[in-house]
Amino acid sequence: MQKWLTNLKIILKKSLDLIYPLNCVICKRKLNFDDGSYLCSECYSKIIRNKPPFSVKCDCSPVYFQRAWAVGKYTGIIKDLIHLFKYHRQQYLSKPLGKLMVDFIKTNLNWQTIDVLVPVPLHPRKLRQREFNQSELLAKEINKQISIPLANALIRIKQTSSQTILPPEKRLSNIAGAFKMREQKEVAQKSILLIDDVLTSGATANECARVLKQGGAKRIEVLALAGK
Ligand SMILES: [Zn+2]
């Protein structure tokens, strides 16, 4: 091969490496053309997904949503990905993570009956800190791939301690009154799929569902990336 062509190839590859992280974010191996974005097909296939019936039990009563699902267990690759995504600001991971949720929706849910996706909101202060709402980015990916409309129908008015560090009996009172309706007409009479990243006790999702129900939502289901 002519030398200039080799040089050109090297330059092109180097510039591409700058634009795209061409290594798998988990195993660091070079990505192939047929791999997904940011995650190699091998790591993607190693993600431990939940088996039917998928439902996550909520430690709350009354329960305001119909059912809650989690794509996988909060462990292994899925946990690593969520950590990179949320705490290391690797926003582009919403793509493979969103794809996981879309795969789940297409295979297991009667998604044609869902009217709108509502992400669990972050408190404005937290949003400024993190610069993005992880649940909203996931909902955006789902919206891109299966075009269910998205509505940021809820706002968070109370900044709460992280549910994961609290004992179960404190979680309900911690989250009570944390959300408010933003736009009632976005949810009235609608079938809603509430989107969250991690479901722990279900108390956060249930509080969102309570407010949505109060706002006239017909039916609420919950989908999270990972559950306990
Ligand atoms: Zn990999």
C-alpha of residue 225 to centroid of ligand 1, in Å: 19
**For residues 65 and 46, what is the distance between their CA atoms, to the nearest angstrom?**
31
C-alpha of residue 28 to centroid of ligand 1, in Å: 6
C-alpha of residue 39 to centroid of ligand 1, in Å: 5
Candidates 224, 191, 195, 219; CA nearest to 114 is 191
Structure tokens that stand for 167 in this block = 């004992």
User: For the chain, which domains are there?
Assistant: 1-46 (no CATH), 51-227 (3.40.50.2020)
DSSP 93-133: GHHHHHHHHHHHHHHHS-GGG--EEEEPPPPHHHHHHHSS-
pLDDT tens for 112-125 read 999 999 999 999 99
C-alpha of residue 66 to centroid of ligand 1, in Å: 36
C-alpha of residue 222 to centroid of ligand 1, in Å: 29
**For residues 128 and 126, what is the distance between their CA atoms, to the nearest angstrom?**
5
Q: Tell me the pTM.
A: 0.86
Residue 14 confidence (pLDDT): 66
**Residues 73 and 52: beta-carbon distance below 8 Å:** no
C-alpha of residue 138 to centroid of ligand 1, in Å: 21
Candidates 226, 181, 179, 175; CA nearest to 199 is 226
Which SS3 state, helix, strand or coil, does residue 217 take? coil
C-alpha of residue 27 to centroid of ligand 1, in Å: 4
C-alpha of residue 30 to centroid of ligand 1, in Å: 8
C-alpha of residue 38 to centroid of ligand 1, in Å: 8
Residue 59 confidence (pLDDT): 73
pLDDT tens for 125-140 read 999 999 999 999 999 9
**For residues 133 and 48, what is the distance between their CA atoms, to the nearest angstrom?**
24
C-alpha of residue 31 to centroid of ligand 1, in Å: 8
Residue type, 218: K
Question: Residues within 5 Å of ion ligand 1 by Cβ?
Answer: 24, 26-27, 40, 43
**Residues 202 and 60: beta-carbon distance below 8 Å:** yes
Question: What angle do helix axes 76-87 and 94-108 make, rounded to 10 degrees?
Answer: 130
Mean pLDDT by 10 residues, the chain (228 residues): 79 66 86 78 89 74 92 93 91 92 93 96 92 96 94 92 76 88 91 95 93 96 93
Let me know the angle formed at the C-alpha of 202 by 116 and 100, rounded to the nearest 5 degrees: 55
C-alpha of residue 189 to centroid of ligand 1, in Å: 43
Residue 13 confidence (pLDDT): 67
Half-sphere exposure of 80 (CA within 13 A, CB side): 12
C-alpha of residue 188 to centroid of ligand 1, in Å: 43
